[in-house]
Structure 1
C-alpha cells in the first residue's frame, strides 16, 4: 500500500465535504471535471459510475466501501481509499493506493505526484 497525506488547518467536516462530494471534486482536483452515478450529494457504497477527466475521458469506478470519514473506490485493478482524520482543530487528508503486484509501484510512480498535488490542494481549499 502507498499513502499520500497533507495536513490542513480546516476542521475534518469541511475537508470531508470536499473529499466525499463528487460535485466539489474539481475544486481540488482540476483534471476531474465531473462524475456521475457515484452518489449524491456524497459518494455511496455500492454506487457504480464514472469520473470525467479533462472533461472528456470517462473513467469507470465503483464505490466499494464508505465509513464516517473514509471512502474507497475501485478503478480498474487499483483501489484507492480517500480519508480524513481529525487532528485537534484541523485534519489530515490522505489517499491510500492498493494494486496488484508491480502495478502498484507503476501507478505510484506515474500518478503518485498527481495524487500528492490533489491532496495538498484539498488541504488548502478546505482552509
Structure 2
C-alpha cells in the first residue's frame, strides 16, 4: 500500500525531519518518543518508537533502519514485534510548483497496514506543511 502527501515545506527541511529520529514525534502524532542508537538515520541503526496510545505502560515498538539514501532522500526500516513486523519505505521529493511531496510504501499484514495507513497519511501531511 502506498500513501503520500504534498505541502509547502522545502524538500530539504522535510528530509531533515525524517533524518533525525528525535524529531519524529514533532510531526507524527502516533509517536510519543523515539529512542535510537544514532542521532541521524543510518543503515543498521536500531531503536524503538514509543507509541502515542492510551495505556498505563509505554508501548515500545523496536525498529531497525535497513537503508538510507541521503542524496535521494529515501529510507526504509522494519518496525514492530518479530511476529508482526512492518517494512516501511519512505521518500521526499520536490513537488511540482514548489514545496515537497512525501510518500510511504507499507509492507506487512493487510489488516495492520490498512489500520495504520490513515495515521501515516496524517503524519505525512504534517511532515510537509
Using the size of structure 2 for normalisation, the TM-score is 0.82
Preserved contact between residue 38 and residue 62 of structure 1 (Cα < 8 Å): no
Question: Residues 27, 37 of structure 1: CA spacing in aligned structure 2 closer, same or farther, 3 A cutoff?
Answer: closer
Structure 1 residue ranges without an equivalent (≥5): none
Measured in 1, the distance between the counterparts of 2:99 and 2:10 equals 5
Structure 2 residue ranges without an equivalent (≥5): none
Q: How does 1:51-90 map onto structure 2 within 5 Å?
A: 51-54=49-52, 56-68=58-70, 69-76=73-80, 77-88=85-96, 89-90=98-99
- Give, in angstroms, the shift of residue 54 of structure 1: 2.3
Matched, 1:45 2:43: yes
Match of 2:32 in 1: 33
Using the size of structure 1 for normalisation, the TM-score is 0.84
RMSD between superposed Cα atoms in Å = 1.6
Q: Which runs of 4+ in 1 moved over 2 A?
A: none
- Give, in angstroms, the shift of residue 38 of structure 1: 4.7
Q: How many residues align?
A: 118
Q: Which moved more, 1:63-72 or 1:17-26?
A: 17-26
Measured in 1, the distance between the counterparts of 2:116 and 2:68 equals 23
